[in-house]
Amino acid sequence: MTTHSLIRVVVEHKLQMDLESRELAADDEAVLTASEREDQVRQKLARLASRRTLAFLGLATALLLAVVSFTASSRAEVWPGLRNTSHVTTNKVVASLVSGVQELFEESKPMAPFDVQLLKAVFDEPSANTFFEEIQMHDGTVSYRHRNGLLVTAKEGRYVKISPSVPGSAQFFGKNTNNDGTISLMVHGGKWLTALPSGEIIADGTKITSWQTFTSTRGENGTIALRTAHGKYIGLNQTISEEFAADGRMLTKDGFGSQAAQTFNVVIMAQASSISSREKFTMIKNTADATVSFKTNFDTFVTSPMDGLVSGDSAMVCGREAFTLILKHGRVYLRTFDGWYITAHRRGFLVGDAVQPGLQESFDMEFNDDGTVSLKSYHGKYFSATKVSFEPDGGDWAFAV
């Protein structure tokens, strides 16, 4: 079997499993009872586990055959001149196959990249184990801290976990209050938290159905307990005796910035023809969720609100200050917390409302000698941060520029 054929096997197995995995979030609750749906999910999970096992054994066998084949050919006396080349090729084949296997199984692992636990909804009644502190952030996102001090952590397409604080957007959620009083929680990238009948929670919902809704119960000191549509409460069998107050002080540590009061606005517009200090941004890489944040020369951060213009008003890195940086054809695209793309309009206004990336959503990123970066729009203008001390009465702050 050739190297190309082996890699093709990896890709085909991964695509097949991705397609079957998406079936788990299909919205067919209208025709299935909760019990029937749970049985269906359990059967599909068992089938996926079996398929992954077979795929792993097949790939391991193919890897062994590839190594033996290339090693044997490297020792052949017929082509002695190809000895070194064969060893190099063997290494490349092994590296390619190992990389393919790792990629194949990476997303199926319900384990976090750090030493944490999966978060599950398995409790029948609210208790000390099921209450969380709901922390309201200044950019409209919320965070949830368990009584053991750990934070709910979610990444698009992955199982929800509980972990210590990490920089980036993985621990901030967009909160939507539904018409029936339940809430739904959006993760960075625009997906909704989905509660499975097994109790596991995964960030893969494309729309809000009953599996993406949670009923909140108010507890002491402003804490809340969240119950899924399957009647179970989210929680952990770990508590601490120390009480906590509903504030965001714990989020000012580990790179989250400070909450210093601001008496000014920072306007971000793509209107500069050249680069000065106002057009330079410090790009911060958030390794926890592979996002980036941009700090202005005023020590504030670029933010994209749910509705409205992009600004530089944020004094700390929360959910909406983290962007997914997408590189395509030599240009970059900025995907917002909600899964939209930043658009640069001809007059310089920046809005995070594009469904698909196009020409007006593409930017040139230039690296400056001082380590900062500058972003130039499709219209040939650079992002510029301007500080204004007031917001015009009855008008938009952008007109103060």
> pLDDT tens-digit profile of 109-128?
443 344 578 999 999 999 98
The whole-angstrom separation of Cα 228 and Cα 119 is 13
DSSP letter for 231, please.
S
> pLDDT tens-digit profile of 262-281?
556 899 999 999 999 999 99
Answer yes or no: are the C-beta atoms of 105 and 194 closer than 8 Å: no
> pLDDT tens-digit profile of 209-218?
999 999 999 9
Instruction: Please tell me the CATH code under which domain 265-400 is placed.
Output: 2.80.10.50
Task: Give the lowest-confidence range in 26-30, 43-47, 50-54, 123-127.
Answer: 26-30
pLDDT of 97 over the 70 cut: no
Task: Give the lowest-confidence range in 61-70, 307-316, 363-372.
Answer: 61-70
pLDDT of residue 308: 85
3-class secondary-structure state, position 341: strand
Sequence-distant (6+) residues with CB within 8 A of 201 are 119, 120, 121, 154, 159, 160, 193, 194, 195, 228, 234
Entry pTM: 0.66
DSSP string, 242-281: ----SS-GGGGSTT-B-----SSEEEEEEEESS--GGG-B
Cα angle, residue 211 at apex, residues 124 and 26 outer, rounded to 5°? 135
In sign, the C-alpha dihedral spanning 311, 313, 319, 323 is: positive
> pLDDT tens-digit profile of 352-379?
999 999 999 999 999 999 999 999 999 9
| Domain over 117-247 is classified CATH 3.40.1110.10 | no
Q: How confident is the model at residue 341 (pLDDT cuts 50, 70, 90)?
A: very high
Which token pair is 254? 């580990």
Beta bridge partners of 123: 233
Domain limits of the chain? 3-106, 117-247, 265-400
